Structure 1
Amino acid sequence: MPTPPHPLSLPDVPRETFERLVCFADLLTRWTQKINLISSRDLPHLWSRHIEDCLQLVPLVERGTRITDLGSGGGFPGLILAIAADADVTLVESDRRKAAFLREASRATGCRTRVIDRRIETLDLPPAPVVTARALARLDQLLDWSAPLIAPGGFALFLKGQHAPDELTDAERHWHMTVERIPSRTPGGTILKISDIRRV
């Protein structure tokens, strides 16, 4: 298992939350040997590249809020927010093996989640205050999927990489939106907080 950081290096994470994150990391490491949750090359960097990246979203959501997480995969960022923000998260993952992992990880960490193993375009969910996604699709596609799933007054949080500016330029051809760009601690990364989404 990748060595977790010392708890003092994550000063905003309570001890109980840290222990649940360690439980999650251990389970993900074991399952990744059977199914492709993350790249095996990424396993040594699981904490810095994946878990800590997602923890950046915790201050951006209200504790206990409802979240719909699209393309949850190995649990990023939805399961991390369920653990660290006590969020009530609907995890959408069409791959049934990954969905099985998400159910087991939710049980083991004591999270409030619901796992839906269906394709995003077939969803019929009540709108949520927050919609999240990470490393899933280009922004234009994310907005198409997310717009009907965000409750009035809500917003989307997308963890994006170095191509975020180009994706924003492309998306603005088809969408009106309010965008807040939040610098990421992950090199080359950007957090996009997007609200007031409507088609041009």
Structure 2
Amino acid sequence: MHIHDPQHDDVSPPAVPSPGAAAPSPSGPTRIVLIRHGETDWNVLGRLQGASDIPLNADGRAQAALTGRALAAQPAPPFEVLYSSPLMRAAVTADLIGRELGLEVAARVPELRERSFGLAEGMTWAERGEAFGPGLVEGQEADHEVRVRALAALERLAAAHPGGAVGAVTHGAVIRVIAEYLLQADPYSLPPVRNVSLTTLRHFGAGTWEVEELGRHASDEVQAPR
């Protein structure tokens, strides 16, 4: 499904490299592979991480390395350049994947950071509901705020690599919000975005996107229940 993002023209560009405005490439669409970070202890405990800089646990590091090895074993490289969120769970996941692919992370992209959950960070969903009830919590980003900043960053990455393939390690809420918007889907109808899963987008220029796949693991050996 193609969708044009009408907010593309009103968003301030993020601080990532770009040769200019996105335009359709004569060599075809740009493919962007979004990878969720590996597991953390807060994932295991079901705690909202958001902007909190929680590190990978041992399983998360193993998941990232295994994902990198599985991608490296593919007949063609899945991407030729790699970016990540600056939060350490994403940054280290990218470093470990990049090591297996022979890639250094090109830049940490602040706009790909996880959604802020404000005062609810560190709580479980049940604790959040009990403490604050439904609706946004003080300091929490709304879905559209996450989508606007993240898609602005992805537009710039697509413009920097027209017709190429880009990897970007980011976070579950970021990937979910983008997928829901591009697919115009009810969130409960989509598969979960688990740790180190891959979601592939295709960019056709001028804010036009397509979701190619959602939530696939690079290897059947990856144990990522969250």
TM-score (norm 2): 0.35
TM-score (norm 1): 0.39
- Structure with greater strand share of residues: 1
Higher RCO, 1 or 2 (CA under 8 Å, sep at least 6)? 2
